[in-house]
Each structure stands twice: as structure tokens, then as C-alpha cells.
Chain A
Amino acid sequence: GENVEQHPSTLSVQEGDSAVIKCTYSDSASNYFPWYKQELGKGPQLIIDIRSNVGEKKDQRIAVTLNKTAKHFSLHITETQPEDSAVYFCAASGTNAGKSTFGDGTTLTVKP
């Protein structure tokens, strides 16, 4: 089955700096890669996703890059703000596979 590894497990940055979180996956059949943000006591919220036919996607301060050859994808947050502090999860799944495999999460702390 699919295996997703996520690094780092914790990340602390100063407000205004950039944050990068990286994930690798094992199953070459995976072709959908979402990122979720989970705040304390809440469910994961989809913040951005990318499909395998695209190498990069951007939404305001958030971007995701995908390298299918190397089987890794990354989340980039620019101009970080304290409200970006949360746990971020990457995931991988195949089209219509019906289930996603999640990384173990990265706790991001943005210091004011």
C-alpha cells in the first residue's frame, strides 16, 4: 500500500518568513496530493491540492510543487502570519481510490 512520509515534524518561523513542508510517497499510481490544515480541536481543512498532471499550483500565499519522478511534493507558505500556526498534513491517493494516506503531520508555529 501507499506510504507517505512528512518532514519536518515541527517547524518554527518568524512572522513574515517562509515555511516549507515536504512529503514523499511510495505508490507511483497515486495522482492526487492534498494538503490539510488542522487547528486545535477541529477537523482537517483542505487548503490546497495538486494532481499529477500539474507540477505547481499557487493560491495567494500558499503553493504546492510536485515532482512525480522523485515522488515528492512540498507545501510552501510565504509571508507567514501567526494565524498560520497549526498542524499541516499532506496526503496521497489514486483517482477514485476512495481513501487517502496521510503523513504524520507538521506542527507549524509562527512567532510574532
Chain B
Amino acid sequence: NAGVMQNPRHLVRRRGQEARLRCSPMKGHSHVYWYRQLPEEGLKFMVYLQKENIIDESGMPKERFSAEFPKEGPSILRIQQVVRGDSAAYFCASSRGPQEANVLTFGAGSRLTVL
């Protein structure tokens, strides 16, 4: 079991460019979550998705950020027109559902640096 796979592990973008982060959940998991971790801070919830559905996006900024989890393929977190404040580690987690929806397995993260 390869666990939760995230790529890229490191991404450098210039201000105004787009960043796309991908996450493949663990085998058998149908729920995906994205969390953001700023340097020396805790994890902040961004969005919770199931296949083809956004269940809760209450933690996601209203502008420039979007997430999807298509029927086929990985979940994608997309950040348009990146700014320096978007520099952070973005972690994806997955869980079985629905009875164990909050038992999370995290990936190794994608570290975004905006120059």
C-alpha cells in the first residue's frame, strides 16, 4: 500500500503564476482533505471532497483557490495568480467513508514557494 501520494513534493512559482498540487488517496479511501501549514504553525483545514463532490470548502479562500476530485485520477488543488503569502506546505489526507471519515492518513506534503 503506497499510502497517500502527493506531487510535486516541492514547487517554485513566481508571483502571478498558477500552482497545481496533486493527491492520490490511499487504496480503498474515498474521502480527500486538503490542509495548509504555514511555517511553524499548525494545520488549517481547507477543503473536504469525495469523488466528484465538494463536501466542505469552508476553509478555502474564496478567490484564486479551487479543488476537485474527479471520477478518475487524483484530487487537484489549484492556486491561481499565486502571491508570496501562498508559500506554505499543503498536505492532503484521505480516509475511508463514511463511518471513519475523520480518521485521516496524511501524505508527505507539497511545499510551495512563491518568489
- Interface residues of A, Cβ cutoff 8 Å to B: 6, 32, 34, 36, 41-46, 49, 89, 93-105
The reply to whether B99 and A45 form a contact with Cβ atoms under 8 Å apart is no
> Which residues of chain A are near B44, meaning CB under 8 Å?
102
The reply to whether A99 and B43 form a contact with Cβ atoms under 8 Å apart is no
Judge whether B107 is part of the interface by a CB distance below 8 angstroms: yes
Q: Give CA–CA (A99, B91) in the complex, Å.
A: 13
> Which residues of chain B are near A97, meaning CB under 8 Å?
101-102
The reply to whether A99 and B108 form a contact with Cβ atoms under 8 Å apart is no
> B22 → chain A, closest Cβ, in Å?
15
- Interface residues of B, Cβ cutoff 8 Å to A: 4, 31, 33, 35, 41-45, 48, 55-56, 58-59, 91, 97-99, 101-109
The residue of chain B having its C-beta at the shortest distance from the C-beta of A4 within the complex is B42
> A17 → chain B, closest Cβ, in Å?
25
> A1 → chain B, closest Cβ, in Å?
8
> Which residues of chain B are near A32, meaning CB under 8 Å?
102-103
> Which residues of chain B are near A46, meaning CB under 8 Å?
103-105
Choose from A45, A89, A95, A96 the contact partner of B43 (Cβ within 8 Å). Answer: A89
The reply to whether A42 and B101 form a contact with Cβ atoms under 8 Å apart is no
> Which residues of chain B are near A41, meaning CB under 8 Å?
108
The reply to whether B41 and A98 form a contact with Cβ atoms under 8 Å apart is no
The reply to whether A99 and B45 form a contact with Cβ atoms under 8 Å apart is yes
> B41 → chain A, closest Cβ, in Å?
6
The reply to whether B106 and A98 form a contact with Cβ atoms under 8 Å apart is no
Q: Give CA–CA (A36, B37) in the complex, Å.
A: 14
The residue of chain B having its C-beta at the shortest distance from the C-beta of A44 within the complex is B106
